[in-house]
Amino acid sequence: MIVWGTSLSPFARKVLGFLSEKKIPFEHRPVTPQVDIAEFRACSPVGKIPAIDDDGYRLADSSAICHYLERKYPEPALFPKDAKSFGRMMWWEEYSDTILVPAAGQIFFQLVVRPRLLREQPDMAVVDKALTTDCPRVFAHLEKAIDGPFIVGDQITLADIALHCIFINLKLAGHPLDAERWPNLGGYVAGLMARPTLGAIRDPKAA
């Protein structure tokens, strides 16, 4: 299986973490969105990451990929069995993708992507707003919801893998989560980052 997409993307990292937790062998090809590589575009016609090629079966979008992988490789299960827990898992994954990532991702984009990849100056007003308004609002919601090592049930699920990814980006941007201010969320994220399957994810170095 080939996985296209840099681990700096929380969506690509979600798929890489999902595969790692399931111990599914894969070849990681870290590309950025919209790169003009024919093999990648065959998997992701719109140029978004991540995308996979599983022995000729091509698929893009992190959620679609994880659902496909869970159906094809059901053990170890990363989706809850009962309907209510499954629904909550899906809700938290969607919360991560559409609420958490847009709020915290602004910091990574401004402080890492713009200066290092786009050769542009960051907009520090955007960073300040994300740090003082957008992120605290989202973190406060998570702080109240978390009461254990996992967000749904008593074992890791897709929701946990999705939620932890953006906190890697915050750390890389020089703004790791303040665990003293957000102790429940801080302990939760630290526990996920400490998992060998998730903590070891890196883009492979060029030969």
Q: Which residue has the tokens 């399957």?
A: 197
Q: What is the per-residue pLDDT across 17-69, written as a single tens digit (0 to 9) for each?
A: 999 999 999 999 999 999 999 999 999 999 999 999 999 999 999 999 999 99
Asked whether the predicted pLDDT for residue 146 surpasses 50, the reply is yes
Look at 84 and 207; give whichever has higher pLDDT.
Answer: 84
Tokens of 202: 């890196």
Query: For 161-201, how does the pLDDT look when each residue is reduced to its tens digit (9 = 90+)?
Result: 999 999 999 999 999 999 999 999 999 999 999 999 999 99
Structure tokens at 117: 């990849």
Angle, in degrees to the nearest 10, between helices 158-172 and 83-95:
20
Residue-range domains of the chain with CATH: 2-78 (3.40.30.10), 83-197 (1.20.1050.10)
Task: Please tell me the predicted confidence (pLDDT) of residue 206.
Answer: 57
Task: List Cα–Cα distances, 155 to 21, 97, 160, in angstroms.
Answer: 12, 21, 9
Quote the pLDDT of residue 205.
79
Instruction: Give per-residue pLDDT as tens, 60-112.
Output: 999 999 999 999 999 999 999 999 999 999 999 999 999 999 999 999 999 99
73 Rama class: left (phi>0) / alpha (psi -120 to 50) / beta: beta
| Rounded distance between C-alpha atoms, residue 129 and residue 184, angstroms | 23
Mean pLDDT of the 103-128 span:
96
Mean pLDDT of 137-154: 97
Q: How high is the pLDDT of residue 186? A: 98
